[in-house]
Amino acid sequence: MQVIDSSIESECGRLRVRSQGSGAPLVFLHGAHGMNTWPRYLDLLAGSRRVIAPDLPGFGQSSMSATTTRVHDLARIMLDLLDSLEPTEPVDLVGHCIGGWIGLEMAMRCARLRSLTLINSAGVHVSGVRRGDFFIASPAELPALLFADPLAGERYLQAESAGEFESATFQNRQMAARLAWSPRLFDPELAKWLCRIRVPTRVIWGEANQILPPPFGEAIAQRTGGTLHLIAGAGHLAHIERAHECALATLDQTAAEQTTDTAAALGVSRRI
């Protein structure tokens, strides 16, 4: 299925937007490592949905500006993106890591969302839980830090940073640090506002997530009134490592407001 690559003008300048599929709109916000290649997870979602996936400002092929220094700045630009979508129907929002954090900021401010799905989302702090740090990890350490299967992680990270993607990978790391270096991957003021989120929320978490271990998912689910879905054999990049299970969990959540048969849409059994 063809991925359409386009761009729009935004507050930060050029905003790259890729899309695939047809049907009700689903917006995916990538995480701190960007999205240089189109993942299998989005292919699966696009079997029944119109998937819209921007490069966040400062990541990939989207412009960076002096006005985009905080996560809530990116949330504002993503809300503008939602306003630009036609037709003006409710949108299901999915975010991973920093993209999930942006999604939380958006959900507190936007009446257009139909559902919110968070995959290993950043944004909150849980005291006393030891976690890894991809900002200071060496390239050799990253596969084991981000994946339950380090060999699969090594293959993925090599493909994401090879050749033409080398400069984008460096840019992505710079922008992620700009947004989330200190405090590390959270806003100390955010947690107390999450009770204001009114849309159905699903929190998908890798059981082997070393960057943000499962207690972080439990905290977000509790504060948003959402449901927690743990995925065995998955680390921080659960949607890459366990694409089918993440897609099923995502479509189950978004289908709560629809009549879509999620298993039929994927063409797989619910037994993963």
**Structural domains counted in the chain:** 1
Q: What is the pLDDT of residue 67?
A: 82
Give residue 87's pLDDT: 76
Q: Which domain holds residue 81?
A: 4-264
Across-strand partners of 253? none
SS3 category, 229:
strand
Q: Does residue 74 lie in a domain region?
A: yes
| Domain contains 269 | no
Q: What is the pLDDT of residue 12?
A: 86
Whole-angstrom Cα Rg for the chain = 17
Residue 136: inside a domain:
yes
Tell me if residue 6 falls in helix, strand or coil.
strand
What string of pLDDT tens digits covers the 272 residues of the chain? 899 999 999 988 999 999 999 999 999 999 999 999 999 999 999 999 999 999 999 999 999 888 888 999 999 999 999 999 887 889 999 999 999 999 999 999 988 999 999 999 999 999 999 999 999 999 999 999 999 999 999 999 999 999 889 999 999 999 999 999 999 999 999 999 999 999 999 999 999 999 999 999 999 999 999 999 999 999 999 999 999 999 999 998 876 656 444 444 555 433 33
Q: Would you state the pLDDT for residue 259?
A: 46
| Sequence-separated (6 or more) residues with CB below 8 Å from residue 57 | 10, 12, 15, 63, 64, 65, 68, 73, 74, 77, 175
- Here the CATH number for the domain that contains residue 193 is 3.40.50.1820
Alpha-helical segments (H) within the chain: 40-45, 71-84, 98-107, 142-146, 150-161, 166-180, 214-224, 238-241, 243-254, 262-266
Cross-strand bridge partners of residue 94: 28, 117
Q: What's the CA gap between 117 and 201, in Å, rounded?
A: 6
Q: Is residue 168 part of a domain?
A: yes
CA angle 82, 109, 75 (to 5 degrees): 55
Q: Using the structure block, give the residue that is written with the tokens 């060496």.
A: 138
Residue 175 lies in a domain: yes
67 contacts 11 by C-beta, under 8 angstroms: yes
| Per-position DSSP letters for 50-73, written without gaps between them | EEEEEPPTTSTTS---TT--SHHH
Asked if residue 211 lies in contact with residue 126, where contact means CB atoms within 8 angstroms, the answer is no
Do residues 252 and 245 make contact, with C-beta atoms less than 8 angstroms apart? no
Please tell me the predicted confidence (pLDDT) of residue 271.
Answer: 34
Q: Quote the pTM value.
A: 0.93
Rounded Cα–Cα distance for residues 114 and 200 (Å): 7
Q: Is residue 228 part of a domain?
A: yes
- The distance in angstroms from the start CA to the end CA of the chain is 24
| CA–CA distances in Å: residue 1 to residues 18, 48, 53 | 13, 12, 15
CB count in 10 Å sphere of residue 193: 13
Q: Do the Cβ atoms of 102 and 75 come closer than 8 Å?
A: yes
Q: Would you say residue 271 lies in a domain?
A: no
